[in-house]
Amino acid sequence: MTSAAAHRRIGTIEAVKGPVVDIVCEQSPPLHRALYAQPNGERCVLEVFRELGERHVRTIALHRTAGLARGQAVMDSGSPLQIPVGPQCLGRLLDVFGNPLDAEAPFEALDFRPLVAPPGPLSEARAAESVLETGIKVIDLLCPFVRGGKTGLFGGAGVGKTVLITEFMNAVIQLHAGVSVFAGIGERIREGHELWHDMREAGVMPRTVMVFGQMDESPGVRFRVGLTGLTYAEYLRDTLGKDVLLLIDNVFRFVQAGSEISGLLGRMPATVGYQPTLLSEVADLEERISSSTAGSITSVQAVYVPADDMTDPAVNAIYGHLDTMVVLSRKQAAKGIYPAVDPLHSNSKMMDRHFLGERHYRVAESVREHLARYRELEDIIAMLGVESLAEADRRIVGRARRLQRYLTQPFHVVSPHTGIAGVSVPLARTLDDCEAFIRGDHDAVPEADCYMRGSMQEART
């Protein structure tokens, strides 16, 4: 913001087509430079996305374009898009520019950081070190989150992605006393308002930064709000030395915003109508989420799966960058299994006996084997009944059904709506209970007594 070129006239508006503004420049600005016009005294920020000629650029407006007209002067901010950063950002609800959305005064900015930046040096990167316990049984057991890693929650509409990501946010802040950054990409205002109040009531807002780009805003805002959240996470990691939890809801809307911008810029669509730059845009976001010697960034990202099709190009582009993949299944939700995690399709690159330890790996594999065998036999049971199975298979089915119900869990964040108090179960207790199920210690326990409980010790009492 201190450039000598800052706040000088750089050109005039040639055309305004929705959020697309073409500008004739006296000197062509670099890509991603932030320009602005001031119709009616209100600043409208324009980000340069494409060069159309020697002195002709195409920009995307990050504010409403009402009032812009041909011939209006365009000013140069002297830098790319930047946001204010400082320790006082914690506890605040902000927009893509770092301006407050919580009706309070702007926080004191100690510095400004650009949104578009390269990843940190490879020599300073730090590998994933350990499992990050969440207290959520099915996740800790079968698809553990990794401290300093990236986790994706994949699912269609209405299967519980936002509830799970909010519960994880609540759990990590309570269990690990870290700080978190929540980036809401294309959020509905109702969801954002409820989440903000939930975080305040839970008492975790003082250690949280919330950044929102709402569904009705420009595609440029929805395309950049994820980078705003990531920039705050990098600041908390590098300057304050914090272990940061970065939550993004929803990465698919980031892809959609990029697709809108691509069409507005006049690019030819590629596979299934997505932008030809899909892979590079996802990589620009994902590769910056990393841990360094100063601190770690652990990322959890909700990913909408269009039409429940896991082969969608956007889903595959995101999946390639993740360490852990949690798949939420509509079939599980229809059975009343919450969280609706599909235990056979969810996986983690860290499911390795050397990383998890021999006991955790062995128990997780045994649970998967029981659940996989039960799924194989479901059609036979539906047609002929469980009595038609061999004794060994009946025993496996009984234990698998109890394990399936045991891996359900009431959440803290929905307890006001369900009337059931949320529970958090340590990983060691989960392993003890699963070993007991596999040995047959709970064969006489009614299946209903395993449903929506914490540990089996709680079920017995």
260-317: pLDDT as tens digits? 999 999 999 998 889 999 999 999 999 999 888 888 899 999 999 998 899 999 999 9
| Per-residue pLDDT at 5 | 53
Six token digits for residue 24: 């004739």
| Per-residue pLDDT at 2 | 44
Other beta carbons within 10 Å of 231: 26
pTM: 0.91
Quote the CA–CA distance of 371 and 377 in Å, as a whole number: 10
- Give pLDDT < 70 ranges for the chain: 1-6, 175-177, 459-461
Quote the CA–CA distance of 444 and 446 in Å, as a whole number: 6
| Per-residue pLDDT at 459 | 63
Q: Tell me the β-bridge partners of 126.
A: 291
Closest C-alpha to 163, from 421, 343, 406, 410? 410
Q: Residue 188 catalytic?
A: yes
From 167, 187, 260, 281, active-site residue: 187
Quote the CA–CA distance of 352 and 228 in Å, as a whole number: 34
| Per-residue pLDDT at 162 | 82
What per-residue string of b and e applies to 10-44 under the rule 16 or more CB within 10 Å gives b?
bbebbebeebbbbbbbeebbeeebbbbbebeeeeb
CA distances from 355 to 285, 321, 362, 376 (A): 27, 19, 12, 30
| Per-residue pLDDT at 292 | 85
| Per-residue pLDDT at 176 | 64
From 161, 237, 288, 402, active-site residue: 161
Q: Residue 113 catalytic?
A: no
CA distances from 75 to 19, 196, 220, 452 (A): 17, 35, 19, 59
Phi, psi at 140, each rounded to 5°? -60, -35
Quote the CA–CA distance of 296 and 188 in Å, as a whole number: 30
Burial of 221 (0-12, 13-18, 19+ CB in 10 A): buried
From 8, 17, 43, 188, active-site residue: 188
| Per-residue pLDDT at 195 | 84
Q: Residue 161 catalytic?
A: yes
* Cβ contacts of 22-30, under 8 Å, gap ≥ 24: 22/52, 22/56, 22/57, 22/58, 22/59, 23/56, 23/57, 23/58, 23/59, 23/74, 24/55, 24/56, 25/55, 25/56, 25/57, 25/74, 26/55, 27/55, 28/54, 28/55, 28/56, 28/57, 29/57, 29/76
Quote the CA–CA distance of 337 and 358 in Å, as a whole number: 28
